[in-house]
């Protein structure tokens, strides 16, 4: 097992290097001149050149990449061209906000999704099952930003129950996290249902039943454990989609997260911040996937670790 | 292709009511897109500053937007854009992903290793994030949004095609073809890939829905279609400022997106069940 985990971690190295190259390359391909942006609108050409050499932008690309990696190792992502503050300081608090939102949404979709799927699977084709499966079809198809606006319209504009934007109290979490979780909840519910139905057909469940075990013991102790295996993989993949959805959710609810920061920075051509946010989100996603693979190995003893 | 309509899979698909609902939804979308100039009650670009944000009425069934344009007509014309987005981005994913995946899977070895690491790297970025970054490099706009969504789907296709090719390439009939001296290119594209079509068709149907959803997201963020193009996501984004007073400007384009995506998802799910070889008995 530890060999498997080690091998899986070694595989990360080329991926992380590739991610760094892509982020570095893309930011260099972005339209506009970062030195001019940094120097300001009214800077003299001499000063722009000065800033350019200060930022290392007059060096050949491989040297620039070397500098980029060296600074990265030190946790230095440069300075924002808009606020002049270090990118790390700009991104970090917003990153925490995004992480909170996605973590809550992930937990919500796991609990509600698995729960709803389980109930559906234990009484297939019942009214409950049919209603929840139709709901989940719509949940998968509804655009997250539209759902957010509709929930906002109902619960904050018309009913006045919940705040429509910003953060502060726990109440502020409800609409954004429900919005973000909807798509994943729907998918997980469908996955759980089909996975459980699949497992419940197997021989060992029939054996358990013939031993006279109660339905609850069979469902929760025997079937769920095996049914969860594909769901765990999905949960990991969902995290990436949640991060993407977070950009949209943050925009709808004016949530000060890193996704919104990234889009704002793209529109304002604040490329150091774009670079930093993309890098951070990609690395996070890679690490989550690693975690999922390891978890998967624990859950499924059939995986071979050569 | 004609063979498909006589196959068991097609008969199974026809019996699947949910998949048929999806198909009808898609056919309706095509009709609306095709007949947009005939169906649309008004010019989707004509502004009327004396009647902005009017609610639904007999003359304007879904109301007017912030510039007084007819929302229904804009949604009708938007169908053309969304269908284009869906099919063009899937075509981009297929054109690159299918040959790369097939060759990578068929030859294996170092080439396969390199391709797989590249796929790993692309998949290290959450999809929407990668699309946003690509759009920001290429410049904001509808065409670039389509390309970005298409490019993001490439690694998925590579994985899918590679996996299916791996499961087929050691079958006896492929070995027989090789023994007869058939060229690799011919084996891959005439004998191996056609056997792998089922998962590719299913994925493509689902991908059309995903592409519509993502491009609408880019439009909503201001990175996709720009005004005055009646793209659904951009329409929604324009209307969101008026959600308190005139929610029809946001509600209906969103409904249109949802129905379109639902149609392709239902068809995709139905196709998956129908093409499942386990069902062939």
- What confidence tens digit (pLDDT) does each residue in B203-222 have? 899 999 999 999 999 998 88
Q: Do the Cβ atoms of A248 and B254 come within 8 Å?
A: no
CA distance A256 to B123: 26
Closest Cα in chain A to B260 = A141
Chain B partners of A157 at a C-beta cutoff of 8 Å?
Answer: 243-244
CA distance B245 to B159: 47
Q: Do the Cβ atoms of A140 and B265 come within 8 Å?
A: yes
Helix, strand, or coil (residue B159) = helix
Helix, strand, or coil (residue B64) = strand
E strand or H helix at B53, and its extent?
Answer: none
CA distance B268 to A34: 45
When mean pLDDT is compared across A169-183, B37-51, B82-96, B223-237, the lowest value belongs to B37-51
Mean pLDDT, range B82-95, rounded to an integer: 93
Residues of chain A with pLDDT under 50: 306
Q: Do the Cβ atoms of A145 and B217 come within 8 Å?
A: yes
What pLDDT band is residue B95 in, cutting at 50, 70 and 90?
A: very high
Mean pLDDT, range B30-37, rounded to an integer: 89
Residue B37 has pLDDT above 70, yes or no: yes
Helix, strand, or coil (residue B16) = coil
Chain A partners of B237 at a C-beta cutoff of 8 Å?
Answer: 145
- B93 versus A224: the higher-pLDDT residue is B93
* Per-residue model confidence (pLDDT) at position A157: 79
B249 inside 8 A of chain A by CB = no
Q: Do the Cβ atoms of B236 and A149 come within 8 Å?
A: yes
Chain B partners of A251 at a C-beta cutoff of 8 Å?
Answer: 220-221
Contact B125, A282 (CB under 8 A): yes
Long-range contacts, stretch B26-33, CB < 8 angstroms, 24+ apart: B26/B263, B26/B264, B26/B267, B29/B79, B29/B82, B29/B83, B29/B260, B29/B263, B30/B83, B32/B76, B32/B79, B33/B79, B33/B80, B33/B83
Best B221, B222, B253 member to test A by mutation, with max A CBs in 10 Å, is B221
Nearest by Cα to B70 from B60, B80, B55, B56: B60
B88 inside 8 A of chain A by CB = no
Contact B225, B81 (CB under 8 A): yes
Instruction: Give the highest mean pLDDT range of A126-130, B37-41, B147-151, B247-251.
Output: B147-151
Distance set, CA B194 to CA A254, B103, B156, B183, B239 (Å): 48, 14, 18, 16, 46
Q: Which residue has the tokens 């977070």?
A: A246
CA angle A158, A161, A162 (to 5 degrees): 105
Q: How many CB pairs under 8 A join A and B?
A: 134
B251 inside 8 A of chain A by CB = yes
The sign one gets for the Cα dihedral A147, A148, A149, A153 is positive
* Per-residue model confidence (pLDDT) at position A306: 44
Closest Cα in chain B to A18 = B121
Mean pLDDT, range B128-157, rounded to an integer: 90
Chain B partners of A201 at a C-beta cutoff of 8 Å?
Answer: none
Contact B184, B106 (CB under 8 A): yes
Average pLDDT, chain B: 86
B259 inside 8 A of chain A by CB = yes
**CB crowding A124-139: b at 16 or more within 10 Å, else e:** eeeeebeebbeebbbb
Q: DSSP readout, B28-48?
A: HHHHHHHTHHHH-SS-TT---
Residue B48 has pLDDT above 90, yes or no: no
Nearest by Cα to B224 from B136, B155, B151: B136
What pLDDT band is residue B281 in, cutting at 50, 70 and 90?
A: very low
CA distance A109 to B70: 38
Report ipTM (2 d.p.): 0.84
Q: Do the Cβ atoms of A281 and B136 come within 8 Å?
A: no
Rounded to 5 degrees, what are φ and ψ at A166? 80, -175
CA distance A19 to A26: 10
Q: Exposed, middle or buried by CB within 10 Å (0-12, 13-18, 19+), for B6?
A: exposed
Q: DSSP readout, A128-194?
A: HHHHHHHHHHHHHHS-HHHHHHHHHIIIIIIS--S--S--SSTHHHHHHHHHHHHHHHHHHHHHHHH
Q: Which two tokens stand for residue A1?
A: 């097992």
CA distance A68 to A78: 9
Q: Do the Cβ atoms of A18 and B209 come within 8 Å?
A: no
pTM confidence score: 0.86
Q: Exposed, middle or buried by CB within 10 Å (0-12, 13-18, 19+), for A41?
A: exposed
- How far B217 CA lies from chain A's nearest CA (Å)? 7
Nearest by Cα to A113 from A207, A10, A232: A232
Nearest by Cα to A24 from A74, A79, A64: A64
B21 inside 8 A of chain A by CB = no
Contact B183, B124 (CB under 8 A): no
């Amino acid at each position: 097992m530890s060999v498997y985990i080690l091998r899986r971690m070694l595989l990360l190295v080329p991926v992380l290097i590739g991610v760094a190259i892509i982020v570095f390359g893309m930011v260099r391909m972005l339209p506009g001149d970062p030195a001019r942006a940094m120097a300001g609108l009214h800077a003299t050409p001499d000063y722009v050149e000065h800033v350019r050499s200060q930022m290392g932008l007059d060096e050949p690309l491989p040297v620039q990449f070397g500098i980029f990696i060296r600074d990265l190792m030190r946790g230095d992502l440069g300075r924002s061209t808009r606020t002049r503050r270090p990118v790390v300081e700009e991104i970090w608090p917003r990153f925490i906000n995004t992480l909170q939102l996605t973590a809550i949404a992930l937990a919500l979709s796991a609990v509600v999704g698995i729960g709803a799927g389980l109930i559906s699977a234990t009484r297939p084709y019942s009214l409950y099952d049919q209603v929840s499966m139709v709901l989940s079809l719509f949940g998968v198809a509804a655009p997250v930003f539209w759902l957010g606006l509709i929930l906002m319209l109902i619960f904050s504009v018309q009913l006045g129950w919940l705040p429509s934007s910003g953060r502060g109290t726990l109440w502020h979490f409800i609409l954004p996290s429900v919005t973000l979780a909807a798509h994943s909840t729907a998918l997980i519910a469908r996955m759980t249902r089909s996975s459980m139905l699949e497992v419940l057909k197997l021989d060992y469940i029939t054996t358990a039943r013939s031993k006279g075990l109660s339905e609850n013991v069979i469902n929760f102790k025997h079937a769920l454990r095996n049914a969860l295996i594909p769901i765990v993989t999905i949960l990991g993949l969902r995290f990436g989609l949640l991060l993407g959805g977070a950009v949209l959710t943050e925009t709808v609810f004016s949530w000060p997260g890193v996704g919104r920061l990234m889009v704002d920075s793209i529109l304002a051509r604040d490329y150091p911040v774009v670079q930093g946010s993309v890098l951070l989100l990609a690395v996070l996603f890679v690490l989550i996937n690693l975690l999922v693979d390891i978890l998967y190995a624990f859950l499924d003893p059939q995986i071979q670790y050569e | 292709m004609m063979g498909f309509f006589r196959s068991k899979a097609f008969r199974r698909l026809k019996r699947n009511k949910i998949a048929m609902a999806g198909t009808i939804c898609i056919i309706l979308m095509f009709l609306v897109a095709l007949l947009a100039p005939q169906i649309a009650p008004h010019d989707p670009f004509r502004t009327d500053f004396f009647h902005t944000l009017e609610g639904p009425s007999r003359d304007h069934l879904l109301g007017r937007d912030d510039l007084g344009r007819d929302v229904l007509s804009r949604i009708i014309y938007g169908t053309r854009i969304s269908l284009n987005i869906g099919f063009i981005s899937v075509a981009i994913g297929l054109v690159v992903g299918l040959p790369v995946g097939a060759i990578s899977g068929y030859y294996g070895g170092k080439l396969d290793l390199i391709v797989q690491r590249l796929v790993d790297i692309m998949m290290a970025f959450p999809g929407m994030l990668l699309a946003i970054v690509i759009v920001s490099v290429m410049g904001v706009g509808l065409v670039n949004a389509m390309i970005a969504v298409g490019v993001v789907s490439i690694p998925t296709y590579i994985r899918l095609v590679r996996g299916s090719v791996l499961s087929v390439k050691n079958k006896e009939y492929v070995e027989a073809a090789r023994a007869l001296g058939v060229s690799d290119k011919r084996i891959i594209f005439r004998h191996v890939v056609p056997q792998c079509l089922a998962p590719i068709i299913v994925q493509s149907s689902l991908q059309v829905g995903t592409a519509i959803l993502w491009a609408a997201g880019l439009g909503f963020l201001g990175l996709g279609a720009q005004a005055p193009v009646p793209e659904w996501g951009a329409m929604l984004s324009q209307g969101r400022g008026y959600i308190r007073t005139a929610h029809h400007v946001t509600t209906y384009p969103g409904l249109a997106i949802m129905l379109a995506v639902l149609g392709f998802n239902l068809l995709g799910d139905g196709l998956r069940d129908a093409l499942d070889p386990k069902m062939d008995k």
